[in-house]
Amino acid sequence: MFEVRERDGLGRIGVMETRHGRVTTPALLPVVNPNRPIIPPADLVNRFHAEILMTNAYILGRGPHRESVLRQGLHEFLGFSGAIMTDSGAFQSHVYGDVDVTNAEVIEFEKRIGADLGTMLDVFSEPSHDRTQAAADVEETIRRAKEADSLRGEMALVGAVQGGLHPDLRERCAREVSTLGVSVCAIGGVVPLLESYRFQDLARVVIASKKGLDPAKPVHLFGAGHPLVFPLAALLGCDLFDSASYAKYARDGRMLFPDGTRRASELRESGCPCPVCTDHAMKEIAQDEALIAEHNLHTCFAAVREVRRAIAHGDLWELVERRARAHPTLLVALRELRHHNEFLEEFEPVARRGALYYVGPETAHRPVLHRFRRRLMERYQPPSAKGLVVLPENRRPFTEAYASAVARVMETSDVHAIVKSIWGPVPLELDHVWPMAQSVVPDSLDVESLEAAEVFFREWAAGAGYPFGLLWEGESSLDELRARAPGKRAVDWNAARIRATADHQFGRGAADALLLGTVSYVVSKNTGKVRNVMVDGDHVLSLRAEDGLFTLKAAGAQRLHRAFHPPQLRIIVDADAVPFVREGKNVFAKFVREADPEVRPRDEMLVVSPDDELCAVAQSSMNRREMLSFKRGVAAYVREGVPPSTPAPPH
Ligand code: GUN
Ligand code: ZN
């Protein structure tokens, strides 16, 4: 039903199958008001290329068109052959206080008119609802979701997540509803937040819901129709948006833009490249509700396409950070995200193509950088020395910028060298690891970033245990270093880099396991950098130039397999899958039994049988939560199959 093709943050480009065709996500569902269709559904297809739209079963069921839609079916009635999702009237209950239908009646009607995705009648949980009331909303919503599941027949069901602003209730509702036979999980009760620009609360609600939701199911965000929120909502894992805003704002003479809303009558030019704004004078647009609606819809579709571009390119975080400047409350929402890094980090790939760009002081708090700092504390073993020379942020890679300074320092002082970068401390041996060498950072930094760098540095230094740290201020620092840490240090930088990278990537102890024996390197003639690592003649690791991380070879995997216990570093597959994986076939998610909770997308992993026999080396494309949930798609791309080991001959 849903398969993921690309990912970034919790965002994904996916394909959702319906009875009326495939829908590429993130997708925008324009809302068609059956009583007032400002843009005809045929135009939504031909001019806007909509693959799916949304209409309201509650309104249809009690309006003048009831009989014709029942007779013709929804698709013929609307003149739309793509996928159609119907909503249930829960929003009307929020607006009017109550609705005069039952959950069972709505489901029955949606089935009869042929909705591709029919929404249950959930209880709209207002942000103002206290715990007791929100808990009651959730219990009733779960009860109705179960009822809807039992009544849905062949219809794909949309299950709703309620719970107001209470994270634990959201998570519980999400978990209960998404384990039922629902095809789409929809986060509801957020329109009041969207209307009053309460994006921080929105972010909290979406994150809490995502924690409980089945990652294999597409997630809809009810009522999110402003392009301002698409990047953030997609980053947090929302796949579908419905927009009535394009029509509602048009009725009010207001134009939507990716960075906000403007009144058409107050503009001399819109500055927008859409066909409406290209072909019509602003005066004409301002007087024509349909033209404004079309412009609004162009803006919304373009904003969703931009999100998809960013996911495919791997710079959705950058897009969100840039777009957050469009509204102060969006910036507050962005700053909220750092408090959820433990969860968000699970979904971040270990590396990606291309550079990480500084956008603002929020960038340092991205989950990937949080991960780097945490691994530094948990996995990095600082070498013994009499002190630290602390090198300021500089041109990257730092080893090149500081090559001669460090050589001079170590001739006369026994100190270890570490860079106090704005992403946190970076030991010189780890400066090639993504994104430390692959970051674009301004020459002159803002105070907030500098203060954060200071805090990150102190947190690490407190645990590292060096007697002193001296900030490098150029030549003048040489004397003081010599006085405080007399001696010298001879560092084999290749060896130090290999060891530190191995522990950073695979966990503390990995370097000892991988490198026990006689180590030699194959060095690139072009770059002078280590390419392959051989131990006792076996090729155990290759070092990738792009991201400074290792590709694991079978001989290396065997060493890690002996040193780390299950499920560490492992993907455990069903016995049925073992022969295929050994032959080099990819690991499909449906065959994964268990996996290391620490596995991240693009990690190098050991694929093992239920009896913990090593079967392959693979690069994961999912985290554990995803591997255990998805029934479709590849969980890990096998690099090398490992044949069954022949039992040792008797002595
Ligand atoms: N439309 C906007 N918000 C909601 C909601 O919470 N539930 C449903 N079913 N539809 C909505
Ligand atoms: Zn326009």
The CATH number covering residue 556 comes to 2.30.130.10
* 223 CA: nearest ligand 1 atom: 2
Question: Distance between CA atoms of 481 and 389, rounded to whole angstroms?
Answer: 8
Burial of 417 per CB tally in 10 Å (0-12, 13-18, 19+): buried
221: closest CA among 246, 202, 247, 200? Answer: 202
- How many Å lie between the centroid of ligand 1 and the Cα of residue 581? 44
In a domain, 350, yes or no: no
- Mark whether 331 and 441 lie in a shared domain: no
Q: Look at residue 622 and tell me whether its pLDDT is greater than 80.
A: yes
- Ligand closest to 285 (CA) is 2
| Closest residue CA from atom 11 of ligand 1 | 91
pLDDT over 70 at 298, yes or no: yes
Give me the domain span that covers residue 209: 2-339
Shortest-distance ligand to the CA of residue 269: 2
Phi, psi of 35, rounded to the nearest 5 degrees: -90, -10
Checking if the pLDDT of 471 tops 90, the result is: yes
* Residue 332 maps to a domain: yes
| 261 CA → ligand 2 middle, Å | 12
Distance 268 CA to ligand 2 centre (A): 13
On the question of pLDDT at 527 being above 90, the answer is: no
Which of 124, 129, 144, 158 is the pocket-test mutation for ligand 1 (most atoms within 8 Å of CB)? 124
| 460 and 585 co-located in one domain | no
Confidence of residue 60 (pLDDT cuts 50, 70, 90): very high
Q: Reduced to 3 states, what is the DSSP secondary structure of residue 493?
A: helix
Coil vs helix vs strand at 427: strand
State which of 31, 126, 191 you would mutate to test the pocket of ligand 1, scoring each by most atoms of that ligand within 8 A of its C-beta: 191
Give the containing element (helix H, strand E) for 598: none
In a domain, 491, yes or no: no
Q: Which residues pair with 519 in a beta bridge?
A: 535
| CA 184 to ligand 1 center in whole angstroms | 13
Residue nearest to atom 8 of ligand 1 (CA): 90
Positive or negative: CA dihedral 96, 101, 104, 108 = negative
Separation of CA 320 and ligand 2 centre (Å): 22
pLDDT at 649 over 80: no
Please give the structure tokens belonging to residue 518. 């006689």
* Lowest-pLDDT choice from 242-246, 563-567, 619-623: 242-246
Mean pLDDT score of the chain: 97
Residue 525 to residue 507: CA distance in whole angstroms: 30
Q: Which ligand is nearest to the CA of 145?
A: 1
Rounded alpha-carbon distances, angstroms, from residue 309 to 11, 260, 588: 11, 20, 26
| Percent of the chain whose pLDDT exceeds 90 | 96
> Across residues 201-208, what is the average pLDDT?
98
Q: Is residue 346 part of a domain?
A: no
Q: Are residues 157 and 229 in the same domain?
A: yes
Give me ligand 2 centre to Cα 34, in Å: 25
Query: What's the gap in Å between 134 CA and the centre of ligand 1?
Result: 15
- DSSP three-state, residue 446: coil
Q: Could you tell me if 182 and 314 lie in one domain?
A: yes
**Residue in 86, 222, 248 to alter for ligand 1 test, most ligand atoms within 8 A of Cβ:** 222
> What integer pLDDT is reported at residue 528 of this predicted model?
87
Q: What ligand 1 atom has the least distance to the C-alpha of 189? A: 6
Average pLDDT over residues 599-603: 98
Q: Kindly state whether residues 90 and 134 are assigned to the same domain.
A: yes
Q: Which of 29, 87, 120 for a ligand 1 pocket mutation test, highest count of atoms within 8 Å of Cβ? A: 87
- State the pairing for strand pair 219-221/240-243: parallel
Which helix (H) or strand (E) element contains residue 606?
strand 604-608
In a domain, 538, yes or no: yes
143 shares a domain with 199? yes
pLDDT at 336: 98
Residues within 6 Å of ligand 1 by CB: 87-88, 90-91, 119, 122, 124, 160, 188-189, 191, 222-223
For 201-330, list the strands marked E by DSSP.
Answer: 219-221, 240-243, 254-257, 260-263
Over residues 99-151, the pLDDT tens digits come to 999 999 999 999 999 999 999 999 999 999 999 999 999 999 999 999 999 99
Tell me, what's the pLDDT at 16? 98
Q: Do 232 and 146 belong together in one domain?
A: yes
Q: Which residues pair with 439 in a beta bridge?
A: 356
pLDDT above 80: residue 651: no
Of 339, 372, 402, which marks where a domain is finished? Answer: 339
- Looking at the fold, whether 363 and 334 belong to one and the same domain comes out as no
Closest residue by Cα to atom 9, ligand 1, is 90
The domain boundary residue, chosen from 308, 339, 370: 339
Tell me 443's DSSP state: S
Domain finish residue from 339, 371, 392? 339
Report which of residues 37 and 532 the model is more confident about.
532
Q: Is the per-residue pLDDT at 648 higher than 80?
A: no
| Number of separate domains in the chain | 3
Ligand 1 atom with minimal separation from the 187 CA: 6
Cα 340 from Cα 229, distance rounded (Å): 19
Direct distance between the N- and C-terminal alpha carbons of the chain, in angstroms, rounded to an integer: 56
pLDDT at 35: 84
CB distance 197 to 329 below 8 Å: yes
- Shared domain for 609 and 467, answered yes or no, is no
Q: Do residues 37 and 128 share a domain? A: yes
Residue 590 belongs to some domain of the structure: yes
The pLDDT of residue 233 is: 98
CA distances from residue 290 to 37, 56, 74, 278, 285 in whole angstroms, order as listed: 10, 21, 24, 15, 9
Q: In this model, does residue 155 exceed pLDDT 80?
A: yes
**What span, in angstroms and rounded, lies between the C-alpha atoms of 77 and 58?**
15
What's the pLDDT at 273?
A: 97
77 Cβ contact list (under 8 Å, min separation 6):
34, 65, 68, 69, 113
Nearest to 330 by CA among 320, 340, 339, 338: 320
The pLDDT tens digits of the residues spanning 404-456 come to: 999 999 999 999 999 999 999 999 999 999 999 999 999 999 999 999 999 99
Bridge-based pairing state of the strands 254-257 and 83-87 = unpaired
Q: What is the pLDDT of residues 270-282, one digit of tens each?
A: 999 999 999 999 9
What's the CA-to-centroid distance between 286 and ligand 2, angstroms? 11
**Nearest Cα to Cα of residue 29 among 100, 97, 78, 69:** 78
Question: Which atom of ligand 1 sits closest to the CA of residue 88?
Answer: 9
Q: Are 41 and 80 in contact (CB under 8 A)?
A: yes
SS (H, E, C) 500-555: HHHHHHHCCCHHHHHHCCCEEEEECCCCCCEEEEEECCEEEEEECCCCCCEEECHH
Residue 207 to residues 10, 193, 201, 343, 469: CA-CA distances in angstroms?
Answer: 10, 15, 10, 9, 39
CATH number, residue 374: 3.40.50
pLDDT in tens, 70-107: 999 999 999 999 999 999 999 999 999 889 999 999 99
Confidence (pLDDT) at 554: 97
Q: Which residues pair with 443 in a beta bridge?
A: none
Residue from 55, 91, 99, 123 whose mutation best tests the ligand 1 pocket (most atoms within 8 A of CB): 91
CATH number of the CATH domain containing 147: 3.20.20.105
The number of angstroms, rounded, from the C-alpha of 229 to the middle of its chain's C-alpha atoms is 15
Does residue 497 fall inside a structural domain?
no
Dihedral in degrees, nearest 10, Cα atoms 58, 59, 61, 67: -160
In a domain, 178, yes or no: yes
Q: Which ligand is nearest to the CA of 126?
A: 1
pLDDT of res. 62: 92
Residue nearest to ligand 1 atom 6, measured at CA: 188
How do residues 223-238 score in pLDDT, each as one tens digit?
Answer: 999 999 999 999 999 9
**pLDDT at position 1, please?**
87
pLDDT at 650: 65
Supply the pLDDT for residue 59.
Answer: 95
Separation of 18 CA from ligand 1 center, angstroms? 21
What is the mean pLDDT of the segment spanning 504-511? 98
Report DSSP state, residue 345: G
Residues 138 and 203 in one domain: yes
pLDDT value of position 647: 66
Q: Residue of the nearest CA to atom 5 in ligand 1?
A: 188
Of the ligands numbered here, which is closest to the C-alpha atom of 279? 2
Contact 384, 466 (CB under 8 A): no
What pLDDT was estimated at residue 69?
A: 97
Atom of ligand 1 nearest to the CA of 121: 9
Same domain, 59 and 95: yes
- Region 528-536: mean pLDDT is 96
Atom of ligand 1 nearest to the CA of 119: 9
Expressed in angstroms and rounded, the spacing between residue 87 Cα and the centre of ligand 1 is 7
Name the residue among 580, 588, 591 with its Cα closest to residue 641. 580
pLDDT at 540 over 90: yes
Residues designated as active site: 87
Tell me the ligand closest to 262's alpha carbon. Answer: 2
Give yes or no for residue 34 having a pLDDT over 90: no
